Amino acid sequence: MMVDTLIREFDIERDYAQALALWERSGPGVHVSSLSDSRAEIAKKLARDADLFLVAEHGGAVAGTVIGGFDGRRGMVYHLAVEARLRRLGIGQALMAELERRLRRKGCRKYYLLVGPNLQAAIAFYEQFGFASMPFLIMGKEIAEEA
Ligand X SMILES: CC(C)(COP(=O)(O)OP(=O)(O)OC[C@H]1O[C@@H](n2cnc3c(N)ncnc32)[C@H](O)[C@@H]1OP(=O)(O)O)[C@@H](O)C(=O)NCCC(=O)NCCS
Residue 144 Cβ, how far from ligand X at the closest point, in Å?
27
Nearest to ligand X of 24, 41 (CB atom): 24
Question: By the criterion CB under 6 A, which residues form the site for ligand X?
Answer: 26-27, 29-30, 80-82, 87-93, 115, 119, 121-122, 124-125, 128
- Residues 96-135 as b/e (b if ≥16 CB within 10 A, e otherwise) read bebbbebbeeeebeebeeeeeeeeeebbebbeeeebeeee
Residue 146 Cβ, how far from ligand X at the closest point, in Å?
31
Nearest to ligand X of 50, 97 (CB atom): 97
Nearest to ligand X of 17, 121 (CB atom): 121
Residue 105 Cβ, how far from ligand X at the closest point, in Å?
22
Residue 66 Cβ, how far from ligand X at the closest point, in Å?
8
Torsion 60-22-99-47 (CA) sign: positive
